Structure 1
Amino acid sequence: MFKASIQRQVRLGNVARQFSTVSLMRNIRSEPLAILHQTPVLPALRRLTPRYAFSHLYSTESATAQANREGEFAPVPSAPVTRFSELSQLGVNPQLVAALTRGMGYDAMTEVQSMAINPALKGTDMVAQAKTGTGKTLAFLVPIFQRVLVDQPELADRRVRRRASSQDIRAIILSPTRELAEQIGVEARKLANNTGIVVQTAVGGTRKRESLFKMWREGCDVLVATPGRLNDLLSDTEAKVAAPNLQAFVLDEADRMLDVGFSDEIRSIQEMLPSRAEKERQTLLFSATIPRDVVHLAKSMVRPDNFEFVQTIKADDSPTHERVPQHLVTVQGFENIFPTILEIAHKAKSAEDSDLPFKAIIFFSNTASVQFAYEAFRNTTAFSRRAGTPIFQIHSKLTQGQRTRSADFFRQAKSAVLFSSDVTARGMDFPNVTDVIQVGLPPDREQYIHRVGRTGRAGNSGKGWLILSNEEIPEARERLPGLPIKPNNTIESAKHTLGDSSASEDISRFFSELSSAYEYVPKSMFRATYMACLGQKFGRHFQAEDLIKLLNDWCVGAMGWTEPPAVSPKIAQNRGLSHVRGVRIGYDREEEEPVRRAPGDDSGSGFGHGNGFGGRGGSGNFGGRGGSGNFGGRGRNDNFGGRGRNDNFGGRGRSNRNSFEDRFSSRVDGKPRFAPRASF
């Protein structure tokens, strides 16, 4: 019944939204919401079983009843406010309004903010569907901060000394990735600046004891966390972290959290929090898509007789991935990929008709490839410190401090390149990204779309690039249907053959620079990349034998190895590679030649350009305690063959499920559920 309710509400949501006064911001003709009482829409809602039906959208009766129930919230006006300065009309604390308008400089609300903040202030639970990058962080921060201040009015004055406690957390916000949690924490602290509310973050990749000491010393009113770390803290009796009086619980990017396998942690967290019968709390669940798993999660978390569904994605909305020009570059072999990236960057930076700096994110489907590419490119002249285009890397093997610093520096840079795994593919706000470059087959259509969504944000222009070998094209057609990807044949490096003397000076230079750069990269990094690629998701049209030939040609033909890396008999057997042509089964000697630095590379160890931001191993220290080439473990990120949660290949992770297409109802963009094969 609950699922049927959401299904029907999504279909009706687009109709109801046509009458919302929010549409006035877009100069679209609309009627007051009162018209809903005279249309067939409301009777349709009434026919739903009351226990499972959605609340009437912005219903005056619902707002009044909620306000009178506890006397905590003022009645909500019939028309939603559209400016932050107007929040005082809804009884929002003046300190929060001042922080939003004067401190953070916000004026007009985005659509999701206007549609979500208004009903959320009533205290009802909410399931909201909104695109990433639309300002939904404030859409849930404002209501939960107001709820905390209503319950503890003394927190409105930051001068009042109140002892916050890690054992009395009032609001919890869960995020699927460390970067997004840190980003939410920064926004939350800005909003709390004029109050006594204490905001803390708890994410994996940081030292648990240090974050606990900070929480014990300063206390905590609002906690922003990743599911794994929060589950660890709540289950550890010595951590002294509890929320017996929890008032608000938020899940951001709920579909992503379920997609990467956090359902067990979320269920465990719920069991350790006070039940709704013991302590009533508000639950806000935000998601870009509403697949079946999100419906089940919502059913277990929200109050079925007191929640609202907010739909901000209209049937005629043009998704980001349809507005961004997307180019397919087909390379002759893997040895052409890195020179192709250099040529794309060179053309972008030297284009006479472009006044935009080159700011790009380059996505790989595994951490080892990110590490290898970063180390190779930092030894080229185009991306050296002296070239003026700094490069950064983000992946799961870096400490959280290193990842945060990389994200902050890239966010602030006008021109830069970020090498990244999929930890930044969703929810992260990097302004003015001009290009998104995806290397190799994306794991699925949804992940491709989220990566492309890092550019073309907030009305800015951008471009998407997909670099594939000829052998990968048939599989890409199956995996990426219905996307506006157009072949681009202007990149000369993609078709260049090694040893061809007829190439232009620029093309020869790109290949020559990469050939020299490979000499400065530890061989263990390429071995790790080789193994990681063998653990990727294959398909009907792209098999292990195709990949092995591409990798071997790259290794021997372009990098100068005498033979490709060896695959141990156990790994070969586990991955079904024992009888695949081209696999060298055996063991490599663990000897490693000392790593040289490219001429003019003065990065050195410690904090600085291209050194992993001062990891314990100094310059070139990547991978943390696990080190590169650590496969088959039980880590959460970039785990190959094991039980990892992100970038999981061949294990028990769930990242390969295409929730973009797995909607519980008709697609909100009006397109058929099963798109045709790609035409590129």
Structure 2
Amino acid sequence: MKGVDLVAQAKTGTGKTLAFLIPVFQRVINAQPELARRGGYRNASSEDIRAIILSPTRELAEQIGVEARKLARGTSVVVQTAVGGTRKKEAMYNMQRNGCHILVATPGRLQDILSDPDARVAAPNLQAFVLDEADRMLDVGFSDAIREILDLLPPVQQVDRQTLLFSATIPRDVVHLAKSMVKTNNFEFVQTISPEDTPTHERVPQHVVAVNGYENWFPAILEIAHKGIERASQDPSALPFKTIVFFSNTATVEYANQVFRRTSLGNRRFGIPILDIHSRLTQHARTRNADAFRRAKSAILLSSDVTARGMDFPGVSHVIQVGLPPDRDQYIHRIGRTGRAGNAGEGWLILAEEEIREARARLSGLPIQPNNSLETAKHVPGQDQASQEVARHFEEISQGYEAAPRRMFRAVYNALLGQKMGRYLRIEELIRLMNGWSSKGLGWPEPPAVPPKVAANRNLRGVPGVRIGHDQDDDEPRGFASSGGQGSRSGFQSGPRSGSRGGFQSGSRGSFQSGSRGGFQSGSRGGFQSGGPRRSGRPSEDPFASRFDRRDEGRGDRRFRNDTRPSF
């Protein structure tokens, strides 16, 4: 409010949106007091924008825009948004017709319109510039766009403005960015993470489930959902079941949406809303689905990582991560969607047994506990006898597979081929997992073909199990492989689990027993052990950068370092 530049380290979900909107509005209104009342000033112009707020994602920008318009009620301040995935001409028309005092934008779209002379968008008298989720912007490659935007804005030496930069972490690249933006002789660094504050990823319970293969992914999600819904119905103190399910790519999100809508969860009469958000949706569809999930008391949101940071969804009871997360930071950001503002929540990580060692390497030191409560995790379709409940879960997923176009699974197959392998997961293991999904899950006689060009680019020629070629574009439905046994249409045999390969006996393959293959026990080889000593935070020779060394005091950057405590 004093008008000094600010660099703030703040977690998501702590109310920082209002922390920057209020001073921005105050600064704009102080410069033009007639804006304080409705109808007091009607000459807003797209060529005289007074404040710019940058956000890394379309969803977060739209969310900030909604909050800004709420503050603008009763005033003459005009708020506009400009984000990728929407029609540029339509946004330009709205700004040119109605004017703009405060513009909320994504970096790519802002760079586009500021550099386009036909857009008639300019900020010669800019009074405030805000970067929200600065570390995320740099993570996704917006550094060049931000530098170009700064070049297109009036120099601070000529037109004074207040710069507010918010970031969950303060790594070196954020320090460099801040140095290029704020007045180095007149700024404040505020750290809102107190030594007593426990980060979400250390506070909420987190479970890891080892499944036999990718064909167990969807049944395991279905089982978690049914248990969560049942618990909420029986325990008045429990949160309604509201979950975000994260997948590593858009193709799997689209496929999961098709499959789960055909299950009991998607039943219009007895089910709950099933929504999806990913990069292939239009901005209108993404905003509509985000708003619907935000309003819902109980719902399932299937998502790529576009919602991993910044998006505020109240009442999320579960976060389910399917497959290896890209890295430790992204795992933590995903978990941060639950347990917000001190509320309860829990996290689930569903991994194939072959992915356990790689997960240990990426997620060492995190308080992730093994969980073998899911019966669907160890069932082998077509081979093991299954309880009625497990058979029902697999049968429902099978019906979803049958309804989904075959091309969608082919897209999933090829998308998974491009995932980060890491130190321990080999390409041969990934191929076996995906081929097992197609044969045991969908009942396909052969796996999807990999186009020759893709195989060459990814060095897949000669890898066992890879079928190089082209598939015909047919949509003949297939379900789970039939075992020929009595029982359901998909070949699930109902019966006792004792002695079965997919059972839960002590010492079974893939169990979480002491000394077991792929176990997560404390002290086991490669387990989720302590991540080593804390970073020392060496003093910087740069006096500006040294202002940020406080992040290594107390708990400052704890969210993104390995903890020194044992995991289990």
Q: TM-score, with normalisation over the residues of structure 2?
A: 0.85
Q: What residue in structure 2 maps to residue 253 of structure 1?
A: 133
Distance 2:193 2:166 in 1: 13
Q: 1:489 to 1:227 in 2, by over 3 A?
A: same
Structure 2 residue matching 1:564: 3-state secondary structure: coil
> Is 1:186 equivalent to 2:66 in the alignment?
yes
> Is 1:122 equivalent to 2:5 in the alignment?
no
Q: What residue in structure 1 maps to residue 90 of structure 2?
A: 210
Q: What residue in structure 2 maps to residue 574 of structure 1?
A: 457
Distance 2:103 2:379 in 1: 53
The alpha-carbon deviation at position 673 of structure 1 amounts to 5.0
Q: What residue in structure 1 maps to residue 247 of structure 2?
A: 364
Letter in 1 for 2:142: F
> Is 1:177 equivalent to 2:177 in the alignment?
no
The alpha-carbon deviation at position 381 of structure 1 amounts to 1.8
**Which 4+ stretches in 1 moved above 6 angstroms?**
660-664
Letter in 2 for 1:450: H
Q: What residue in structure 1 maps to residue 555 of structure 2?
A: 669
Map Cα deviations across residues 637-678 of structure 1 (whole Å, 9 max, x no partner). xxxxxxxxxxxxxxxxxxxxxxx9998853753769555798
Q: What residue in structure 2 maps to residue 268 of structure 1?
A: 148
- 5+ long unaligned stretches in structure 1: 1-120, 597-659
Equivalent runs, 1:598-613 vs 2, <5 Å: none
Letter in 1 for 2:76: G
Q: What residue in structure 1 maps to residue 339 of structure 2?
A: 456
Letter in 1 for 2:269: R
Letter in 1 for 2:352: S
Distance 1:556 1:287 in 2: 45
Q: What residue in structure 1 maps to residue 235 of structure 2?
A: 353
Alignment partner of 1:201 out of 69, 73, 81: 81
The alpha-carbon deviation at position 285 of structure 1 amounts to 0.2
Distance 1:507 1:405 in 2: 34
The alpha-carbon deviation at position 314 of structure 1 amounts to 1.8
Q: 1:534 to 1:494 in 2, by over 3 A?
A: same
Is the 8 Å Cα contact of residues 444 and 478 (structure 2) preserved in structure 1?
A: no
Pick which of 549-558 and 376-385 moved more. Answer: 376-385
Equivalent runs, 1:313-328 vs 2, <5 Å: 313-328=193-208
Letter in 2 for 1:319: P
Q: What residue in structure 1 maps to residue 437 of structure 2?
A: 554
Is the 8 Å Cα contact of residues 478 and 677 (structure 1) preserved in structure 2?
A: no
The alpha-carbon deviation at position 504 of structure 1 amounts to 1.3
Equivalent runs, 1:290-309 vs 2, <5 Å: 290-309=170-189
Structure 2 residue matching 1:401: 3-state secondary structure: helix
Distance 2:358 2:290 in 1: 32
Distance 2:143 2:375 in 1: 46
The alpha-carbon deviation at position 218 of structure 1 amounts to 0.8
Q: What residue in structure 1 maps to residue 330 of structure 2?
A: 447
Equivalent runs, 1:420-435 vs 2, <5 Å: 420-435=303-318
Letter in 1 for 2:261: R
Q: What residue in structure 1 maps to residue 473 of structure 2?
A: 590
The alpha-carbon deviation at position 384 of structure 1 amounts to 2.3
> Is 1:283 equivalent to 2:163 in the alignment?
yes
Is the 8 Å Cα contact of residues 442 and 478 (structure 2) preserved in structure 1?
A: no
The alpha-carbon deviation at position 386 of structure 1 amounts to 2.0
Distance 2:423 2:102 in 1: 48
Pick which of 391-400 and 507-516 moved more. Answer: 507-516
Structure 1 residue matching 2:226: 3-state secondary structure: helix
Distance 1:382 1:192 in 2: 40
Q: What residue in structure 2 maps to residue 331 of structure 1?
A: 211
Cα RMSD, aligned residues only: 2.0
Q: 1:258 to 1:555 in 2, by over 3 A?
A: same
Map Cα deviations across residues 169-211 of structure 1 (whole Å, 9 max, x no partner). 0000000001100010011011111210000000011111111
The alpha-carbon deviation at position 502 of structure 1 amounts to 3.2
Equivalent runs, 1:441-590 vs 2, <5 Å: 441-500=324-383, 502-590=385-473
Q: 1:595 to 1:151 in 2, by over 3 A?
A: farther
Q: 1:503 to 1:673 in 2, by over 3 A?
A: closer
Is the 8 Å Cα contact of residues 522 and 595 (structure 1) preserved in structure 2?
A: no
Distance 1:567 1:677 in 2: 44
Q: 1:332 to 1:535 in 2, by over 3 A?
A: same
Q: What residue in structure 2 maps to residue 394 of structure 1?
A: 277
Distance 2:144 2:475 in 1: 41
Q: 1:667 to 1:379 in 2, by over 3 A?
A: farther
Q: 1:594 to 1:203 in 2, by over 3 A?
A: farther
The alpha-carbon deviation at position 459 of structure 1 amounts to 1.8
Structure 1 residue matching 2:34: 3-state secondary structure: helix
Is the 8 Å Cα contact of residues 401 and 478 (structure 2) preserved in structure 1?
A: no
Map Cα deviations across residues 72-122 of structure 1 (whole Å, 9 max, x no partner). xxxxxxxxxxxxxxxxxxxxxxxxxxxxxxxxxxxxxxxxxxxxxxxxx11
Map Cα deviations across residues 441-475 of structure 1 (whole Å, 9 max, x no partner). 00001100110110101121011000001000000
The alpha-carbon deviation at position 319 of structure 1 amounts to 0.3
> Is 1:384 equivalent to 2:270 in the alignment?
no
Letter in 2 for 1:211: A
Map Cα deviations across residues 481-510 of structure 1 (whole Å, 9 max, x no partner). 111100011110001121246321110000
Distance 2:460 2:269 in 1: 44
The alpha-carbon deviation at position 515 of structure 1 amounts to 1.1
Q: What residue in structure 2 maps to residue 110 of structure 1?
A: none
The alpha-carbon deviation at position 343 of structure 1 amounts to 0.6
Distance 1:673 1:588 in 2: 45
Letter in 1 for 2:363: L
More relative contact order in 1 or in 2 (CA 8 Å, sep 6+)?
2
Q: 1:337 to 1:594 in 2, by over 3 A?
A: closer
Distance 1:662 1:399 in 2: 45
Q: 1:569 to 1:661 in 2, by over 3 A?
A: farther
Distance 1:434 1:400 in 2: 26
Is the 8 Å Cα contact of residues 404 and 477 (structure 2) preserved in structure 1?
A: no
Pick which of 157-166 and 246-255 moved more. Answer: 157-166
Q: What residue in structure 1 maps to residue 35 of structure 2?
A: 155
Map Cα deviations across residues 142-188 of structure 1 (whole Å, 9 max, x no partner). 11111101111110111224210001000000000011000100110
The alpha-carbon deviation at position 216 of structure 1 amounts to 1.1
Alignment partner of 2:289 out of 390, 394, 406: 406
Q: What residue in structure 1 maps to residue 17 of structure 2?
A: 137
Letter in 2 for 1:288: A
Is the 8 Å Cα contact of residues 406 and 474 (structure 2) preserved in structure 1?
A: no
Distance 2:561 2:56 in 1: 26
Identity among equivalent positions (%) equals 66
The alpha-carbon deviation at position 350 of structure 1 amounts to 1.3
Letter in 2 for 1:300: S
The alpha-carbon deviation at position 217 of structure 1 amounts to 1.2
- 5+ long unaligned stretches in structure 2: 480-533, 538-547
Letter in 2 for 1:207: R
The alpha-carbon deviation at position 315 of structure 1 amounts to 2.6
Letter in 2 for 1:169: I
Letter in 2 for 1:370: V
Q: What residue in structure 1 maps to residue 120 of structure 2?
A: 240
The alpha-carbon deviation at position 428 of structure 1 amounts to 0.5
The alpha-carbon deviation at position 579 of structure 1 amounts to 2.4
Distance 1:161 1:134 in 2: 34
Q: TM-score, with normalisation over the residues of structure 1?
A: 0.71
Is the 8 Å Cα contact of residues 114 and 152 (structure 2) preserved in structure 1?
A: yes
Distance 2:536 2:410 in 1: 36
Is the 8 Å Cα contact of residues 168 and 242 (structure 1) preserved in structure 2?
A: yes
The alpha-carbon deviation at position 679 of structure 1 amounts to 5.1
The alpha-carbon deviation at position 136 of structure 1 amounts to 0.2
